């Protein structure tokens, strides 16, 4: 079976799929920083997604896994952010194809303090934890009709991390 290694998400390597926010660093120009006695925070300069989104939480298994099916949302962006531990997100480019192709899948590690917002129609799997089953939050507009999970064209692709790099 073919496999890919997830890489840490950056604004540059994720640009074709959407936007990355770094809520704990101090270099993201799209994040506003505030501080007080004993605390600091960061929040997105603009609303996280287009429209009034619903907040959800998914508990995913662990990497490595076989990415065998994906979904996409034509009528909403979707934001993904960690609850406590890093997660791996597998994506394929937005398209009008009836299914994503295995050769187009990439995987990204999203660390606590980071959030990603996928463009509409970006194919994606449910996230998995880097080092064990992990919960993560998502935000999207729900109730827009069916968002079917479809098998990946050309068969499953194993998604893994490089444990030696701490990923």
**Which among 61, 63, 69 has a CA at the least distance from the CA of 6?**
63
Q: Any idea which fold 3-165 has? A: Jelly Rolls (2.60.120)
pTM: 0.94
Per residue of the chain (167 residues), what is the pLDDT tens digit? 799 999 999 999 999 999 999 999 889 999 999 999 999 999 999 999 998 999 999 999 999 999 999 999 999 999 999 989 999 999 999 998 999 999 999 999 999 999 999 999 999 999 999 999 999 999 999 986 776 899 999 999 999 999 644 44
- Give dist(CA 5, CA 162) in Å, integer: 7
Residues 132, 85 contacting (CB under 8 angstroms): yes
Across the chain, which distance is largest between two alpha carbons, in Å? 55
Sequence length of the chain is 167
Peptide bond into 51 cis (omega under 30): no
């Amino acid at each position: 079976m073919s496999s890919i290694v997830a890489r840490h998400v950056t604004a540059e390597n994720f640009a074709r799929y959407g936007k990355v926010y770094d809520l704990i660093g101090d270099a993201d120009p799209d994040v506003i920083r505030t501080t007080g006695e004993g605390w600091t925070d960061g929040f997105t300069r603009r609303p996280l997604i287009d429209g009034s989104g619903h907040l959800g939480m998914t508990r995913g298994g662990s990497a490595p896994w076989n990415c065998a099916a994906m979904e996409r949302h034509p009528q909403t962006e979707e934001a993904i952010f960690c609850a406590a531990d890093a997660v791996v997100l597998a994506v394929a480019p937005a398209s009008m194809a009836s299914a994503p192709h295995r050769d187009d899948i990439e995987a990204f590690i999203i660390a606590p303090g980071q959030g990603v917002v996928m463009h509409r129609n970006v194919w994606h799997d449910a996230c998995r934890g880097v080092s064990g089953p992990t919960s993560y939050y998502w935000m999207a507009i729900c109730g827009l009709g069916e968002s079917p999970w479809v098998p990946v064209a050309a068969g499953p692709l194993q998604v893994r991390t490089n444990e030696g790099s701490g990923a």
